[in-house]
């Protein structure tokens, strides 16, 4: 049986959506197919996002930046936008039943020393982890997974 697709969208698909994908896949990847994409993909996954996710035992180093239109021919059960721009640009996908918008600050815009920038990546990671871990737990328990 095919698992329902949960597509997480942001603008650049370089930080927030990949962190959310990694967290959700780690807690509910056995019940949903978790993917991420962007409205204007950056073409890479931010090295600091990879580093701070590694700190919590989640490896996103093999992730790639994808465009949200790459999923228009797939049945997507749930779309979750993690920034305002992606929420505004988000199309309706075939089979889409659910849509959520949970906005997180973009750590790629953080300024300051190396440690201050990493602290911002960690702060956003921890917010994403809290929200997507709870969401994943609900998927595992709920009757309408995805």
Q: How does pLDDT run across 73-107, given as a tens digit for each residue? A: 889 999 999 987 766 777 778 777 899 999 999 99
Q: How does pLDDT run across 19-33, given as a tens digit for each residue? A: 999 999 999 999 999
Q: How does pLDDT run across 27-73, given as a tens digit for each residue? A: 999 999 999 999 999 999 999 999 999 999 999 999 999 999 999 98
Q: What are the residue numbers of the active site?
A: 10, 83, 90
Question: Averaged over 118-122, what is the pLDDT?
Answer: 98
Helix (H) or strand (E) holding 125: helix 114-141
Alpha carbon distance 83, 65 (integer Å): 16
Q: What is the model's pTM?
A: 0.92
Looking at the predicted structure, is the pLDDT value of residue 118 above 90?
yes
> 5-137 falls under which CATH superfamily?
Response regulator (3.40.50.2300)
Q: Which residue has the higher pLDDT, 92 or 5?
A: 5
**How many other C-beta atoms lie within 10 A of the C-beta of residue 22?**
30
């Amino acid at each position: 049986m095919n698992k329902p697709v949960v597509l997480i969208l942001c603008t650049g698909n370089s930080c927030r959506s990949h962190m959310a994908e990694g967290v959700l896949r780690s807690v509910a990847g056995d019940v949903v197919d978790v993917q991420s994409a962007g409205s204007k993909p950056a073409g890479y996954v931010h090295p600091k996002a990879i580093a701070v996710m590694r700190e919590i035992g989640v490896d996103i180093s093999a992730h790639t930046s994808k465009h949200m239109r790459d999923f228009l021919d797939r049945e997507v059960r749930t779309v979750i936008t993690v920034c305002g721009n992606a929420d505004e640009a988000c199309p309706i996908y075939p089979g889409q039943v659910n849509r959520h918008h949970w906005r997180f600050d973009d750590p790629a815009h953080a300024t300051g020393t190396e440690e201050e920038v990493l602290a911002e990546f960690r702060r956003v990671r921890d917010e994403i982890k809290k929200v997507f871990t709870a969401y994943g737990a609900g998927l595992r328990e709920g009757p309408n997974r995805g």
